[in-house]
Structure 1
């Protein structure tokens, strides 16, 4: 019963977290010599995520869906120092008190700079939202390097999903407090199968399952032996 209760609790917590977590899974691209990329990434001064700086708490601007922007406002970040062909997972977590819909997409640098719509969005975000001043919680790491590295651009779209009688709030939704993501931000996959951050939980549940298997077998044999014992005849007066 304790094992069953624990599993039910885990399922309940998982469902609760799922309501406030969005993620994307991707593979690290091939190495790219950044100094040959134009426009220069360091000029955009994007917040960056890497193994050295895996957690990025920040505030993301959001807006209600419109015909021009059905997924709200867009924010851009740089995923650096990836391993080519290795799978990663980026997650974004936010409080339930700020109902918001998020979409996460990753793009190679070439794909962004070769697509007018994407490069326009990236440039507008850099100009209007960053203004070359990162918040204290955001980490900026110069993107240009003399050595090639595997990098991706992360686009986050945020659309407010609530209704309020406050007209000001409906016209200008407040920024959403987020963690990109629940440490680590870049979650490598072990053997390209299991996220590294879930490995301890997988090991724990494996041990519990094996223990429960042997314990249930012992209990079954004990009950079977008790049930098969002959009943003692009552004493005659």
Structure 2
């Protein structure tokens, strides 16, 4: 018996949630732990939002702009990935509404590269300065603590260097639409997004897709069982019709 893929898809559609957002992602291996000096000013009070396996989702708004010669990928935003498991595969996804056409580019950078590369450090500094200027004092206090492994909103009293597997994430957002509305063309509105840090199970499969894979497996098994039953029933009906036809032919002879 052959089960057509379209028939399985037809069974899946009623139970799968409606897709209302676009998704862009980057996949990477967590780096080895790095020593983070607690007195390092470039890591203190950056004001960037953080993602970690304990806090894997950030819902925010990102500035976007039309590509130009100076900014071919649009506006950029920075995030901090911390408490990663060295050597484990992760992906970071950005999800946004399809009603806000935007092209996203996600890139991760090790701590050492970010600090040593003057262009990256300058870009990060410009972003953090602009962001801190828009935050109130309480939210500034919730920025990256001096010890990257400390819980969010707390400051470690230990002045010794800490070690952690961390990365910086840069997100470029370029407006991807055309409108006769001159206001929209001149002033691109911020894009509402969800940023999601998703670890891979055994470095093969994103953990968040396990329930979906389970549903697909269950539905596929049910489709195979149901298909076999239908084929059996149809075969039985055909056999009964043949026998009935044979009996009628014998009576007519």
Equivalent residue, structure 2, for 1:27: 29
- Deviation of 1:64 after TM superposition, in Å, equals 0.9
Equivalent residue, structure 2, for 1:202: 213
- The one-character-per-residue Cα deviations of 1:25-72 (angstroms, maximum 9, x if unpaired) are 111111112117855312322111112322211111111110111111
- Deviation of 1:3 after TM superposition, in Å, equals 4.6
Uncovered stretches (5+) of structure 1, i.e. residues with no partner? none
- Select which of 6, 9, 12 maps to 2:11: 6
- Select which of 75, 78, 102 maps to 1:76: 78
Q: Separation in 2 of the partners of 1:10 and 1:140?
A: 40
Q: Separation in 1 of the partners of 2:131 and 2:179?
A: 25
- The one-character-per-residue Cα deviations of 1:146-195 (angstroms, maximum 9, x if unpaired) are 43111110000011122233434323222111111xxxx21111111111
Q: Separation in 1 of the partners of 2:11 and 2:123?
A: 46
Equivalent residue, structure 1, for 2:177: 162
Equivalent residue, structure 2, for 1:173: 188
Task: Indicate the SS of the match to 2:179.
Answer: coil
Q: Separation in 1 of the partners of 2:183 and 2:233?
A: 69
What does 1:86-97 correspond to in 2, within 5 Å?
86-97=88-99
- Is contact 1:28–1:86 with CA below 8 Å preserved after alignment? yes
- Deviation of 1:130 after TM superposition, in Å, equals 3.0
Q: Separation in 2 of the partners of 1:168 and 1:226?
A: 67
Q: Separation in 2 of the partners of 1:152 and 1:51?
A: 13
- Deviation of 1:141 after TM superposition, in Å, equals 4.0
Measured at CA, do residues 141 and 114 of structure 1 come closer, stay the same or move farther in structure 2, by a change above 3 Å? closer
Calculate the TM-score normalised by the size of structure 1. 0.83
The answer to whether 1:120 aligns with 2:131 is no
Q: Separation in 1 of the partners of 2:39 and 2:16?
A: 46
79-88 or 45-54: bigger deviation: 45-54
Q: Separation in 1 of the partners of 2:60 and 2:17?
A: 27
Uncovered stretches (5+) of structure 2, i.e. residues with no partner? 1-5, 149-160
Calculate the TM-score normalised by the size of structure 2. 0.79
CA root-mean-square deviation: 2.8
- Select which of 167, 173, 182 maps to 1:152: 167
Q: Which has the larger radius of gyration?
A: 2
Number of residue-to-residue matches in the alignment: 227
Q: Separation in 1 of the partners of 2:113 and 2:67?
A: 25
- Select which of 214, 224, 228 maps to 1:217: 228
